Amino acid sequence: MLLVYRYRVKSLTGLLQQQARTVNFVWNYCNDRQKDALRFSRPWLTGFDLNKLTAGSSKELNLHSGVINAVCEQFARSRVQHRRPYLRYRGRKSLGWVPMKGRDLHRKGNAFRFAGNTFRVFYSRPLPDGKIRDGSCFAQDRRGNWFLNIVIEVAEPPARPLSHGVGIDLGLKDLAVLSNQERIHAPGFYRKAEAALAVAQRAHKWRRIKAIHMRVARRRLDFLNKHSAELVRAFDHIAVGNINASGLAQTSLAKSVLDAGWSTFRKMLMYKAIRHGVRYVEVDERFTTQTCSTCGVLPDSRPKGIAGLGIREWTCSDCGAVHDRDVNAAMNILRRGRATLEAGISILKGGENVNGPSY
Ligand SMILES: [Zn+2]
């Protein structure tokens, strides 16, 4: 499986700045050639074509040839991914980015060698053994700090037996309600920062606004990282409802939905699960709130529709079990997840290549 390790760079950032400008130049060259191809109705350029066009420019540009290749290939990939005939030019406002080929980056103690230079980093966590892969890059964040993102291939551990599982119902008031009745309260970092943000916005303090946004993002990631790690340590299989964040983000709940970070949480759970041999599955969560988790039917007394949203607790009219709305949903999710896993149709997605800064 591929993992991304991210370290803050503490030396040679000036050099990176300079190289990032050259990277932009190469990127814009690719864009120009693509536009030419469009104008003269020639075949569209692949990464391979662009590599050929830029071959031999390394010395003149004073940029490692691996970087030039990585830029060309990423350009072609992005164009296909975004389904665009051409892309936006990179300029002064673009965040700095210097991609590389995995083979060109080498470890040297707690630092890294790349293209004849040693980059010292804040070695916040040890890099596991494994092969460094393409997709690794230097990238800048919005505050101008440089980070080294290393894509590394590590061996997947064997899956643990399915003994102890958990179902997770994602929500707004509580980020997650577990099938064992535990609740993870949603801290709402953005809501808490709104007052400070408003003050900064009225005063037009752009740097302060940026800093607040970044702090909110960091705190949210930290919170989600901690809780997803805890869950992966405690359970052998995890089932999560496939609640759709982007759909709800267009409603009046938008701010709360985006603040909750469901999709990030699910992504973290998935990555951590694979890393630790935990089985992870996303299940269809339709009717999980309405089905009785004790007897498995849709009783007449179930919470229904909009009116049912306010109901926190209900009694099953068929078997008489008393349910907490969210815990009941989590238990149904666990049951469905387990059924999926036992049927052997586990949706173990993973090893996605992540480019640029990630969490
Ligand atoms: Zn029942």
Q: Calculate how far, in angstroms, residue 323's C-alpha sits from the geometric centre of ligand 1.
A: 9
pLDDT, residue 350, reads: 41
Q: How are beta strands 313-315 and 97-99 bridged, if at all?
A: unpaired
Q: Are residues 115 and 248 in the same domain?
A: no
Instruction: Give the domain extent around 9.
Output: 2-153
User: How far apart are the C-alpha atoms of 240 and 77, rounded to whole Å?
Assistant: 31
Q: Which residues surround ligand 1, an ion (CB under 5 A)?
A: 292, 294-295, 316, 318-319, 321
Q: With 90 as the cut, is the pLDDT of residue 61 above it?
A: yes
- Position 351 scores a pLDDT of 38
Distance 171 CA to ligand 1 centre (A): 23
Clarify whether residues 103 and 175 are in a common domain: no
Task: Output the CA 288–ligand 1 centroid distance in Å.
Answer: 13
Centre of ligand 1 from the C-alpha of residue 291, in Å: 8
Q: Is 348 exposed, middle or buried (0-12, 13-18, 19+ CB in 10 A)?
A: middle
311 CA to centre of ligand 1 in angstroms? 17
Examine the domain organization and report whether 96 and 205 are in the same domain: no
Distance 317 CA to ligand 1 centre (A): 7
The whole-chain average pLDDT of the chain stands at 87
State the distance from the centre of ligand 1 to the C-alpha of 92, rounded, in angstroms: 62
Chain-centroid distance of CA 248 in Å reads 19
> Do 126 and 91 share a domain, yes or no?
yes
Which of 153, 175, 197 is where one domain is finished? 153
CA 179 – CA 175 distance, rounded (Å): 13
pLDDT for position 354: 37
Q: What is the predicted pLDDT for the residue at 133?
A: 92
Q: How confident is the model at residue 156 (pLDDT cuts 50, 70, 90)?
A: confident
Evaluate whether residue 7 is within a structural domain: yes
Q: Over 70: is that where the pLDDT of 191 sits?
A: yes
Residues 6+ apart with CB under 8 A from 33: 45, 50, 53
CA of 320 from ligand 1 middle (Å) equals 6
Tell me: the pLDDT tens digits for 42-51?
A: 999 999 999 9
Q: What is the CATH number of the domain that holds 222?
A: 3.30.420
Spatial neighbors of 20 by CB under 8 A, at least 6 apart, are: 96, 97, 98, 138, 140
Evaluate if residue 234 carries a pLDDT over 60: yes
From the CA of 294, how far away is ligand 1's center (Å)? 5
> What spacing in Å lies between the alpha carbon of 293 and ligand 1's midpoint?
7
- CA nearest neighbour of 147 among 136, 158, 131: 136
Residues 322 and 271 in one domain: yes
Q: How far is the CA of 302 from the centre of ligand 1 (A)?
A: 9
Distance from C-alpha of 96 to C-alpha of 19, rounded to nearest angstrom: 9
Residue 327 Cα to ligand 1 midpoint, Å, equals 14
Is residue 289 included in any domain, yes or no?
yes
Residue 313: alpha-carbon gap to chain centroid: 34
CA of 296 to the centre of ligand 1 (A): 6
Q: How far is CA 153 from CA 65, 134, 298, 299, in A?
A: 23, 10, 46, 49
Shared-domain flag, residues 89 and 140 = yes
More confident residue, 24 or 295: 24
Q: Which of 159-163, 198-202, 268-272, 316-320 has the lowest mean pLDDT?
A: 159-163
- Please indicate, yes or no, whether residues 146 and 25 belong to a single structural domain of this protein: yes
pLDDT(277) > 60: yes
Among 153, 181, 204, give the residue marking a domain's end.
153
pTM of the prediction?
A: 0.73
Structure tokens at 169: 């119902």
Residues 182 and 132 in one domain: no
